[in-house]
Amino acid sequence: MAKNDPYAALRYKEFNIFLIVRFAMVFAWSMQFVVIEWEVYSITKDPLSLGIIGLMEVIPAVSLALFAGHVVDQKEKRGLLLKCILGFSVISFGLFLLTWPKIIGEWPTDIVLYCIYFLVFLGGFVRAFLGPTIFSLFSLIVPKKVYPNAATWSSSVWQMGAVLGPALAGFSINWIGVHWSMCLIFGFSLIAFVNLLQIPKKPILNPKIGENVFKSLREGVRFVFSTKVILGAITLDMIAVLFGGAVALLPVFAQDILHVGSQGFGVLRAAPAVGALITMFTSAYFPLNKSAGMKLLGAIFGFGVCIIVFGLSTWFWVSVLALFISGVFDGISMIIRQTILQLRTPDHMRGRVASVNSMFVGSSNELGAFESGLTARLMGTVTAVVFGGTMTLITVVTTGIVSPAFRKLDLRKDIEEHEKEE
């Protein structure tokens, strides 16, 4: 295997199956979120309702995150992931029934809305376990020497699902309606389940099986907060996503500002993911490990600028371009952050570290959605987006000033050490 082989991870059969599973789940989850956003805003015409969707998912996801990390480190990963996919399938099927035209026509609007919120709330429980389980299973499928390359491909597949899911959501709402769009989502969850069955069970690498849950959780949290590089990367991304969550307000821009309908909404929703996907495929050939700290800071700064441009734009294609470039920068950020986590996390603590990451970063998407919805209600939609982008810029500049060690971060030494271990 060539040292700089851009396809190194793809030469492992189980990793290819893993990528199919991950794509199907990201596609289904992102498409479902967009379809529900559209349905809820169509019912309420209130931007705050979009924030409530995020809040309903983030409450259980954050509340259970640390406990989920403990469970993941104690249990067999493939079996646990099967249960997560099954739980998502039940929820998506419930939303399929709930959006049935007969139910929409006969049930009171408030009842339909509350039932949607309830199912999204249940999805938060599934999500608490899903992220740490996928992160942990990843490390059991490929050897450490190809972790950086595998992280790039895994992130690329994640973005591919994030591109096609929202894009197809916008078009499918127009073509087949919300109800049958939910049926399509349910089908993709079944594809993920069937493919995962082809991966055999994996060993449990945690030497402390049966450890007291509170002691286990303290150990995981202590590790994250004592490893400054991991803490810095997680915190920086969390703040950027929290304040730069303009994507949550896209239904408002599509319907009330840009006036482009559901198809334009699909294009807007997919634009940042397309940019990120292009970045990730490119990074397989041009790794981002050198001067990783400065690249991460620069990428998040560029992301903030793009969010401000998007908020101020009243031209559809300028808005699309701003979101596309924001995705390019977000792709750089995601690759560097995932590489840091994979290289700096011990095998027996992956579930707990991933759960802390999900609390900081993963859940900040939903908290960002709530923040965007709330500030849009208080300030107006455009002002809220510009405010979020500005806060992102301030965060990056502050981090760069107060943390010179982070500016000097370089991951090439870590990769060399893992190659020697192999």
271-315: per-residue pLDDT in tens? Answer: 887 888 788 778 767 767 777 778 888 888 999 899 899 888 888
Q: What number is the average pLDDT over the span 38-66?
A: 79
pLDDT at 236 over 70: yes
CA torsion angle for 137, 140, 144, 145 (degrees, to 10)?
-100
Q: Are 64 and 215 in contact (CB under 8 A)?
A: no
pLDDT in tens, 182-234: 999 999 999 999 999 999 998 776 666 666 667 777 777 788 777 777 777 77
Contact, 306 vs 123, CB < 8 A? no
What is the rounded CA–CA span in Å between residue 131 and residue 125?
Answer: 11
- Could you report how far apart the first and last alpha carbons of the chain are, in Å? 13
Kindly report, residue by residue over 397-418, the tens digit of the pLDDT: 887 887 777 777 777 665 665 5
Does residue 27 have a pLDDT over 90? yes
Query: What are the residues whose beta carbons fall under 8 Å from the beta carbon of 24, sequence distance 6 or more?
Result: 161, 188, 189, 191, 192, 195
More confident: 96 or 208? 96
- pLDDT score of 1 more than 50: no
pLDDT above 50 for 421: yes
Distance of alpha carbon 386 from alpha carbon 405, whole angstroms: 30
Q: Compute CA 250 distance to the chain's CA centroid, rounded to the nearest angstrom.
A: 17
pLDDT above 60 for 420: no
Distances (CA, A) of 409 to 296, 328, 340: 10, 21, 10
Of residues 362 and 62, more confidently modeled: 62
Q: Could you report the per-residue pLDDT of 308-344, keeping only the tens digit for each?
A: 998 888 889 999 999 999 888 888 887 887 777 777 7
Q: Is the pLDDT of residue 162 over 80?
A: no
What pLDDT, on a 0 to 100 scale, did the predictor assign at position 2?
Answer: 45
pLDDT tens readout for residues 307-317: 899 888 888 99
Q: Return the top range by mean pLDDT from 56-70, 92-106, 177-191, 224-238.
A: 177-191
pTM: 0.71
Cα(206)–Cα(214) distance, rounded to whole angstroms? 16
Helical pair 381-402 and 228-243, crossing angle rounded to 10 deg: 160
Burial (CB < 10 A; 0-12, 13-18, 19+), residue 254, is: buried
